[in-house]
Amino acid sequence: MKRAVKIVGSPMDLGADRRGVDMGPSVLRIAGINQRIAQLGYDVEDIGNVHVHIPETRTVIHSNQKYLHEIAEANRELADKVEGILAADALPVVLGGDHSIAIGTLAGVTRHYRKSNEKIGLIWFDAHGDANTPETSPSGNIHGMPYAAILGYGPPELTELSGSVPIMDSSVCVLIGARELDEGDKQVIIDSGLRVFTMRDLDERGMSSVVDEAIRIASRGTAGFAVTFDMDFIDPDIAPGVGTPVPGGGTYRESHLALEKIADTGRMVSFELTEINPIFDTRNRTAELGVQLTLSALGKKIL
């Protein structure tokens, strides 16, 4: 694993109805994410935040794809930042922001590796499918559409961000922890062939077995894999500071185990943490957990 880390924030809340998730990068920094990564032996540089417009200064033009132009603009900047971090032989750690930022992060990762004709896999932790399109979304909120966009479904402003469609190949992508899927999510999942591990799979098989299979899928013919972690993957009794909580999520130890096993592979090429909303949190509890999980993904061990 690279021993240099560059942190970039995307204070994005244009993709969601509930305000507050734009403070995610700030509360993670307040919880000491920079210093604690450095304590693991990494050279850490925080390159700040990409620019994101606030909703009060913008107008919704299309109710089925709210703030599309603004989200695409911020994701283009994020993609450039991530690509630059990888070009500098550092590991991108991206702090969100709602999960629409994954489009920019993964576009940047893909662009970098495409230069050497290499493919990257993806491990995505989430309670939701995030695979709606403007035609199927019940809300028009783009934070419910990024996985679809990455797989080539949705408006070209999003699907074409990496310069090639799809941004990622579904055969090396997985979703772990799904327990609330819209009909639109289900259709894209079926059409794309995306491998989804629901909470029932975790209940029946256990996290260790599921993550082992996810790693195998994301490693097939790839130079490594990206990881994006939506904090609502975790049960809201443990991580209450999220905008769209769903009961019955991952436990504290399941979450750490998953990321510890990912770190053991040495194949993670980027890490992203999203959807922390401190308005619904208690004493920054969810951000503190987010920092701990990031450290596990970067190789922190119990012994």
Catalytic residue among 112, 143, 256, 288: 143
| Cβ–Cβ < 8 Å for 31, 294 | no
Two structure tokens written together for 294: 């990031």
Token duo for residue 90: 């550092």
Is residue 213 annotated as part of the catalytic site, yes or no? no
Residue of 98, 185, 230, 235 marked catalytic: 230
Q: Which of 130, 133, 218 is nearest to 177 (CA)?
A: 130
User: In the annotation, is 112 catalytic?
Assistant: no
**Token pair of 76 as six digits:** 């283009």
Joined together, the tokens standing for residue 18 give 């509930």
Three-state secondary structure call for residue 37: helix
Question: Among 70, 99, 182, 254, which one carries the catalytic annotation?
Answer: 99
Q: Which amino acid is at 208?
A: S
51 is catalytic: no
Instruction: Kindly state the DSSP code that residue 101 receives in the 8-state scheme.
Output: G
Choice among 232, 235, 260, 272 that is catalytic: 232
DSSP 120: -
**Which listed residue (130, 182, 235, 254) is catalytic?**
130
Could you say which of 83, 112, 128, 254 is catalytic?
Answer: 128
Tell me which H or E stretch contains 75.
helix 68-87
Print burial letters for 23-39: b (CB count within 10 Å at least 16), e (below 16): bbbbbbbebebbebbee
CA 272 – CA 288 distance, rounded (Å): 15
The answer to whether 126 is a known catalytic residue is yes
Contact 276, 242 (CB under 8 A): yes
Virtual CA dihedral for 278, 280, 285, 291, nearest 10 degrees?
Answer: -50
Concerning whether 256 is annotated as a catalytic residue, the answer is no
Cis bond upstream, residue 97 (ω within 30): yes
CA distance 300 to 294: 9
Residues 70, 126, 185, 288: which is the catalytic one?
126
Of residues 228, 141, 132, 225, the one with CA closest to residue 184: 132
Phi, psi values for residue 6, rounded to 5°: -120, 125
Active site residues: 99, 126, 128, 130, 143, 230, 232, 275
